[in-house]
């Protein structure tokens, strides 16, 4: 699933391409992607002629704030990513009009296509079709309980070490805590593994047993790793691509995630893979002590 660096990469790309553009039409072959309103024709009618005023990210959500007090929310879920370009529909398949990154096989699963007033298109490629798209009144979105429950943004200036300590629960395995979107917004499997590897903390370590020094290291590693991943436009181990259809480059920097059975870069031990709260966790048994 795209995490904070990948979603931020998409958000920044959209800011460069779609600001002040207006939606003129929309197509889908999978109406279940549209969660609000559930009626696709109503969604299409309500979206038409809305101008994109701003683009923002909240956790793993992308929000396009539109004219007339509306907001379009996109959660890319497991395999979704937004693309920008021009395509034509031929024999039931969307084909990019130009050669380049959009021809990457991972960019061919277009199930939602928006037409913009400049003739370009914004499309959602989603192999597994788990992504969700919702059209809200902006004021209703901001009051929505699920949206309001999201934890603080780890890269906001106001998110200092004291705030980090204050929002942590009293107990729980550190891997699960870092991934809890109601504690901190945006971190998932990839970056929780990388953060904990960096600070030599076992993913099953109980947060109550972590010293203040450990917590400070986790806070600093969170900042550093997320910023580096954004600079490299995220991780593309499988399906993630930026809006131009290009891979992120942080995969080359991974030290723990999906390296099970390989040698630890730091101590020469072997990277292990276990389940923590139903999710995979990668760590070095030799230098990440519980």
The active-site residue, picked from 163, 246, 273, 279, is 279
From the CB of residue 22, how many other CB atoms can be counted at a distance below 10 Å? 16
Q: Where are the beta strands (DSSP E) in the chain?
A: 23-28, 34-36, 52-58, 61-66, 70-75, 80-85, 87-90, 93-96, 110-116, 121-126, 132-137, 271-276, 279-284
β-sheet bridge partners, residue 270: 263
Cis peptide before 37 (omega within 30 of 0): yes
From the CB of residue 277, how many other CB atoms can be counted at a distance below 10 Å? 14
Does 244 qualify as catalytic in the annotation?
Answer: no
User: Measured between alpha carbons, how far is 46 from 44 in angstroms, rounded to an integer?
Assistant: 6
Beta carbons of 9 and 234 less than 8 angstroms apart:
yes
* H helical segments located in 77-116: none
Does 96 qualify as catalytic in the annotation?
Answer: no
User: Measured between alpha carbons, how far is 144 from 251 in angstroms, rounded to an integer?
Assistant: 35
User: Measured between alpha carbons, how far is 274 from 284 in angstroms, rounded to an integer?
Assistant: 11
Query: Is the four-CA dihedral 165, 290, 222, 65 of positive or negative sign?
Result: negative
The active-site residue, picked from 2, 5, 96, 154, is 2
Does 60 qualify as catalytic in the annotation?
Answer: yes
The active-site residue, picked from 58, 60, 175, 205, is 60
3-state secondary structure of 92: coil
User: Measured between alpha carbons, how far is 149 from 261 in angstroms, rounded to an integer?
Assistant: 38
**Through-space distance between the first and last CA atoms of the chain, rounded to whole angstroms:** 27
Catalytic (active-site) positions: 2-3, 60, 279
């Amino acid at each position: 699933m795209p995490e904070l660096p990948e979603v931020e990469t998409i958000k920044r790309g959209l800011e460069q391409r779609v600001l002040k553009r207006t939606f003129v039409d929309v197509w889908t072959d999978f109406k279940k992607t549209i969660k609000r309103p559930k009626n696709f024709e109503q969604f299409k009618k309500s979206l038409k002629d809305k101008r994109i005023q701003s683009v923002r990210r909240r956790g793993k959500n992308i929000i396009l704030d539109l004219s007339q007090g509306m907001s379009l929310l996109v959660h890319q879920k497991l395999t979704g990513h937004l693309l920008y370009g021009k395509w034509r529909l031929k024999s039931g398949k969307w084909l990019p009009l130009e050669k380049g990154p959009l021809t990457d096989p991972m960019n061919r699963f277009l199930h939602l296509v928006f037409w913009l007033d400049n003739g370009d298109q914004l499309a959602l490629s989603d192999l597994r079709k788990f992504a969700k798209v919702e059209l809200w009144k902006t004021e209703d979105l901001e009051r929505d309980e699920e949206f309001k429950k999201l934890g603080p943004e780890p890269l906001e200036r106001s998110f200092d070490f004291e705030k980090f300590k204050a929002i942590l629960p009293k107990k729980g395995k550190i891997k699960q805590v870092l991934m809890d979107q109601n504690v901190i917004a945006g971190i998932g499997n990839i970056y929780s593994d990388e953060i904990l590897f960096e600070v030599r903390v076992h993913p099953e370590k109980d947060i109550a047993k972590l010293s203040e020094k450990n917590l400070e290291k986790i806070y600093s590693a969170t900042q550093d790793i997320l910023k580096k991943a954004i600079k490299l436009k995220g991780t593309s181990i499988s399906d993630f691509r930026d809006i131009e259809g290009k891979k992120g480059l942080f995969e080359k920097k991974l030290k723990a995630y999906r390296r099970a059975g390989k040698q630890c870069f730091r101590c020469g031990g072997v990277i292990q893979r276990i389940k923590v709260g139903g999710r995979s966790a990668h760590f070095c048994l030799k230098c990440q002590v519980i």
